[in-house]
Structure 1
Amino acid sequence: MRLPAPVRAATALARTPAVRAAAELVRAPAALTVPGDSLAGAVAAGRELGAAAVPLTALSSVALYWAGMALNDFADRETDADERPARPIPSGRVTPGAALALATGLTGAGLALAGAAGGRRTLAVAVPLAGTVWAYDLVAKQHPLAGPATMAAARALDVLMGAGYGRLRAALPAAVAIGAHTLVVSVLSSREVEGAEAPLLCATLAATGGVTALAAVPGPYRGGPRQAVRAAALGLYTAGFGGAQATAGGRDPLRVRRAVAAGIAGLLPLQAACAARAGAAPVAAGLLAVLPLTRRLFRKVSPT
């Protein structure tokens, strides 16, 4: 069956070296783990999912995430020249100026989408989120404690942006769980080059267990399909991320990178568990349905 002309044109464009380099720069497939933040916040706050504000907020989150990825490689370009020469900037496929311009443009797009979604009330969270992203890439990531904490704050703010200013309290449990998970992944990612020793992996595994326990705290909706979906989500989260950490020892950088990728993918079942806790079983099931595709794409374009 012959594909329509627009689809063929889009496919051909996606295969061009420039587009492939840009997709690698922003870790394009990892964006599949982003809308679940704002969705988890939205359902926790009781927002109407049929309203245009919800998808606009999700798109804002994706734009800000991609901005952070592009800015990350701009800030790390000298280090990457030694440690990760195949990345787009050190390999010469993307210039530093182009990466910075893309990060700036995506940040502007993210804020514009947030403004369209909810005006000043959404921007009240989106602006601090954008500031946190830039602070992480340009300043905080150089510090072993401030870096992971800032990254965790960014993800937590992303959840709260989905809830909307004025409804933040209802989304705090989801924000704390997703922020804590991000903290664990960020700590683990700091060992992607050198590999991880057993004490660190024991600590991250224990913290992952704590996140699981936090996400398993009973919510206002119990029983029925919500509980079944929530249990399945927590099982996938624990088996996927916990299992990857359990095999990441021996100071093997490749296994650590796989564990970090599993942690990024693990956001989907964790977001699903948070959505199910808020009573949104269809949203949770939808997030779980994206997980296999995300894992496949991660094998093509690294999310780390």
Structure 2
Amino acid sequence: MSSRARVYLRLGRVSNLPTVWTNVLCGMALSGSAPRASEVALVGFAVSLMYVGGMFLNDAFDREIDARERPERPIPSGLVSAREVFAVGYGLLGAGVLMVGGHAYVANRGMAPAVASALLAGAIVLYDAWHKGNPLSPALMGVCRVLVYVTAALAAGGQLGSAVIAGGVALLFYLIGLTAIAKQENLLAVRSLWALGFMAVPFLATLGAPLTGMMGTIAYGALAGCVIHAVRLLRGTRKDRIPRAVVTLIAGISLLDAVLIARSGAPSAGGAAALAMLGFPLTLAMQRVVRGT
């Protein structure tokens, strides 16, 4: 693999892409649609481009801060120029929006999917440009992930009903807690462990809800185990405890997707939940090759 390819993989945090794919699968399941595998793959690829583009822009906007706090990052270390990273980032965002819009046109789904993907792109840029020093940035990051649900649901021809809204709220609060912890990654100790309290919302929202068979129960237990493990890491003494907790919670997004799919009542919900659960070990495995933060 060329050195430039390695730099691009690192800039794009590609190890976290399985969580994007399970977001797409979950958004479609919650919408009540029955998408074809090819449709899931196409929308998943489009949103993946947007995720990677957003990660590129994150580094581009943070280049001055990274030069002081993380000089090993690709831009401060001179491996790639900020101009190139900006160009690639915006290009990938635009390509993702065009792909979603093109699919919606061909599938006769109207303008809603294209509008949703454009809103997603706008939220990504807003977060990247304004997340440092912004106390609302965890909520903004959560909104980005919720818009993945919305984009996927509309692209599959589904409805933005109560299931999508409830699932989006659960995902929003999970991301608020996760992002609040991730913002402290460069500190020696976590100063806002209370932020993990937001992660209780998904459990409360799904408590007592019908789960599809054994797979739903397994997914619920796995998500609980993931969060408990992260809390134990944060309360420990390892020097790398915060980054380890963050990447674990990132992978846990797929487990939350699996829980939401299992309680959706969608066709083949059990199989879809099992597929979403695979995103957790896959993300952790990929993070061993490319850092997730």
State TM-score, norm by structure 1: 0.87
Asked if 1:74 corresponds to 2:60, the answer is: yes
Q: 1:83 to 1:143 in 2, by over 3 A?
A: closer
Measured after TM superposition, the shift of residue 44 of structure 1 is 1.2
2:117 alignment partner AA = A
Asked if 1:194 corresponds to 2:187, the answer is: yes
The residue that corresponds to 2:197 in the other structure is 206
CA deviation profile, 1:272-299 (whole Å, cap 9, x unmatched)? 1111111311111012123222212112
Stretch deviating more after TM superposition (43-52 or 130-139): 43-52
CA deviation profile, 1:161-216 (whole Å, cap 9, x unmatched)? 11117711231121111121111111001111114446x22x23332223222234
Q: Is the 8 A contact 1:67 1:107 kept in 2?
A: yes
Alignment of 1:21-32 (within 5 A): 21-32=7-18
The residue that corresponds to 1:8 in the other structure is none
1:285 alignment partner AA = A
Asked if 1:289 corresponds to 2:278, the answer is: yes
Measured after TM superposition, the shift of residue 266 of structure 1 is 0.4
Aligned residues: 282
The residue that corresponds to 1:19 in the other structure is 5
SS at match of 2:43: helix
Q: Is the 8 A contact 2:101 2:113 kept in 1?
A: yes
The residue that corresponds to 1:56 in the other structure is 42
Rounded Cα–Cα distance in structure 1 between residues aligned with 2:39 and 2:104: 6
Rounded Cα–Cα distance in structure 1 between residues aligned with 2:25 and 2:199: 22
SS at match of 1:34: helix
Alignment of 1:1-20 (within 5 A): 15-20=1-6
Asked if 1:112 corresponds to 2:98, the answer is: yes
The residue that corresponds to 2:233 in the other structure is 247
Listed as ranges, the gaps of 5+ residues in structure 2 are 106-110
State TM-score, norm by structure 2: 0.90
Q: Is the 8 A contact 2:181 2:190 kept in 1?
A: no
The residue that corresponds to 2:260 in the other structure is 274
SS at match of 1:90: coil
The residue that corresponds to 1:3 in the other structure is none
Q: Is the 8 A contact 2:170 2:201 kept in 1?
A: no
1:293 alignment partner AA = L
1:77 alignment partner AA = R
Asked if 1:42 corresponds to 2:28, the answer is: yes
Q: Is the 8 A contact 2:182 2:246 kept in 1?
A: yes
Stretch deviating more after TM superposition (44-53 or 95-104): 44-53
Q: 1:92 to 1:234 in 2, by over 3 A?
A: same
Of the three residues 222, 229, 238, the one matched with 1:236 is 222
Rounded Cα–Cα distance in structure 1 between residues aligned with 2:205 and 2:43: 25
Q: Is the 8 A contact 1:196 1:250 kept in 2?
A: no
The residue that corresponds to 1:167 in the other structure is 159
Listed as ranges, the gaps of 5+ residues in structure 1 are 1-14
Q: Is the 8 A contact 1:66 1:103 kept in 2?
A: yes
Asked if 1:132 corresponds to 2:123, the answer is: yes
The residue that corresponds to 1:303 in the other structure is 292
CA deviation profile, 1:122-166 (whole Å, cap 9, x unmatched)? 012111111000000112x02342211110111111111111177
SS at match of 1:247: helix
The residue that corresponds to 2:141 in the other structure is 151
- The higher-RCO structure (CA 8 Å, 6+ apart) is 2
Q: Is the 8 A contact 2:53 2:93 kept in 1?
A: yes
The residue that corresponds to 2:75 in the other structure is 89
2:209 alignment partner AA = P
Q: Is the 8 A contact 1:34 1:62 kept in 2?
A: yes
Rounded Cα–Cα distance in structure 1 between residues aligned with 2:3 and 2:128: 26
